[in-house]
Chain A
Amino acid sequence: MLRLYATVAAGGFRRYATYRVATAAGVFTNSVFGLVLSSTYIALWDERPHLGGYSVDDALAYVWIGQALLTVCGLMGGGFEEELIERIRTGDIAVDLYRPADLQAWWFSANAGRAAFQLLGRGVAPMLIGALVFGFTLPSGPGGWAAFLLAVALGSVVGFALWYLVAMSAFWLLDGQGVMQVAWLAGLFFSGMLLPLNVFPGTLGEVARMLPWASLLQVPADVYLGRYEGRELAGAYAFQACWALVLLAAGRAAQALATRKVVVQGG
């Protein structure tokens, strides 16, 4: 079975690799947004140095990590859910259902392949551009990079689990657009894409840092910046892993309900 899902993941990787122009366009967009956000952050940190405990260099690194992880962790859309929703809406999901394979594991694998490609294709280039232009904070040695990549991997699993749950709603709602937009807005705000969650004031900040979206960017960025060590680092991973498990389980439950509904009611 593992070989099947490895093949699915490899296919997911290569599917996205075939769209070179789209990838280049994505890199360009990420870089432009990175530049815009960077100038905003420079102005902000100029007014309020050490905002959220970040130096300007930390804040700039945060911006470019955000651009790099945008598609990898699905901050504002995982890249697979639209396809899945479309398959549910058109009934093509029937083809997926009669296969001797698990629906969630299938899409998980395909998404893992996609995320791996986008880390290389859309993650590395903006980071390089940002680092060359602004010279922001870098992790301390290979160990720091490795710790960061593990946090990214976990973040991408949480991202998948969130968007899978969103996609499952299409089994009940004729039009998934409303849910998609709410999820998109929540992602934009609570992932810390606009402003790091450490900067959020009071209770709002405390709550935002507990939500699953914090796993997507805030935690990987803080691991990158070396703000966790030893037990704290393990705690950060555990936070991500817990959300991953909870959301994957919720996705499975939704899938079971949905397939039963489809199987009994015909969708």
Chain B
Amino acid sequence: MSSTEPFIHLDGLEKTFTVRRRAGLIRREKREVRAVDGISFGVERGEMVGYIGPNGAGKSTTIKMLTGILTPSGGRLRVAGIDPSRERTRLARRIGVVFGQRTTLWWDLPLKDSYRLMHRMYRIPDARYRENLDRYVNLLDLGDLLDVPVRQLSLGQRMRGDIAAALLHDPEVLYLDEPTIGLDVVSKAKVREFLKDLNGERGTTVLLTTHDLTDIEQLCSRVMVIDHGRLMYDGELAGLHGVGESERLLVVDLERELPPIEVPGARFVRAEGPRQWLAFPAADSAAPLVAAVAAAHPLVDLSVREPDIEAVIAKMYGGTREERRESLR
């Protein structure tokens, strides 16, 4: 491992599945599906990165390769200098994984039994184990739940329980596959707050996949968008707006019904009685626009609506889908 190599390093990573389909009575048709189609990126120690994309984009396949339970078909992959699929067990001691839709906890037994199991499985020194357990029980509010069988926990409680289980052995990197799926607003907020602190205080590298863009907005300075097994975007969240040519909305409440407002730098969208909607590029400042509108019109109230990132990403996906269709013709 060279000292300059990123902590997590993917270079032209590929994963091809062979799918057999029935074509006629006996004949089987073999078809290759490229789940991950040449992805390259690096994640430095202590980064917190969002990995997003629609269903079937290749997110989980990537995570599975990163944990070593799936062997890449091509390209190069290193996590902490280790080739995951070759040295899965050695790597397992240094990583933590939380699958939002699966649990590592013992279903029928009290939560604390699963932690005892982690203690043995990862051979955590006793003092370290107790210290970490206390810490996570405290931070994740698990005190009253330790004696409760896992099957009786709510989804949010179980998720917090799973996150603690993944962290007891002090992993250097934590993979979270949809950690907030199905959680209510309060539980989501708790999980996010915890992850933010974990990353900030312990410097744990975090890679998270999600469908909830609020996760990304609140946690990740960097986001990677993947679709059809390809990396479509890698950069700051704010930069996504530029890529998707998104717009912000200025909602103006006037004293009375007036003809459409015309100001430079904005586009009239629609009106409903005295309320009007104006769109302007997301990258532009709202201040001069507000000043221009206020100078010429009798204002009662106004608000700025941030662009819906989901819409931005949908736009991006839509674009790629059409390109694909074009190329198939």
Interface residues of A (CB under 8 A from B): 3-4, 7-8, 11, 14-15, 18-19, 91-92, 94-95, 97-101, 262-266
Contacts and interface: CB of A to CB of B under 8 A. Distances in A.
Given A101-B121, A266-B15, A18 B103 contact: no
B102 interface: yes
- The DSSP consensus for interface residues of chain B is mixed
A4 B89 CA distance: 15
B120 A266 contact: no
- The DSSP consensus for interface residues of chain A is helix
Given A95-B103, A98-B97, A11 B113 contact: yes
Contact of B17 (A11, A97, A265): A265
Contact of A14 (B69, B70, B109): B109
Interface string B84-106: 01001100110001010011101
B70 A18 contact: no
Interface centre among B17, B69, B70, by most A CB within 10 Å?
A: B69
A263 B71 CA distance: 5
Interface in B99-136: 99, 102-104, 106, 108-109, 113, 116-117, 120-122
Contacts of B116: 7
A64 to B, nearest CB: 29
Contacts of A18: 108-109, 149
Contact of B102 (A4, A14, A94): A94
Interface stretch (B60-68, B245-253, B317-325): B60-68
A232 to B, nearest CB: 41
A94 B99 contact: yes
Interface string B35-73: 100000000000000000000000001001001111100
Given A15-B109, A97-B69, A263-B71, A92 B102 contact: yes
22 contacts: A3-B120, A7-B116, A8-B117, A11-B113, A14-B109, A14-B113, A15-B106, A15-B108, A18-B149, A19-B108, A94-B69, A95-B97, A95-B102, A98-B97, A99-B104, A262-B69, A263-B70, A264-B70, A265-B17, A265-B18, A266-B35, A266-B61
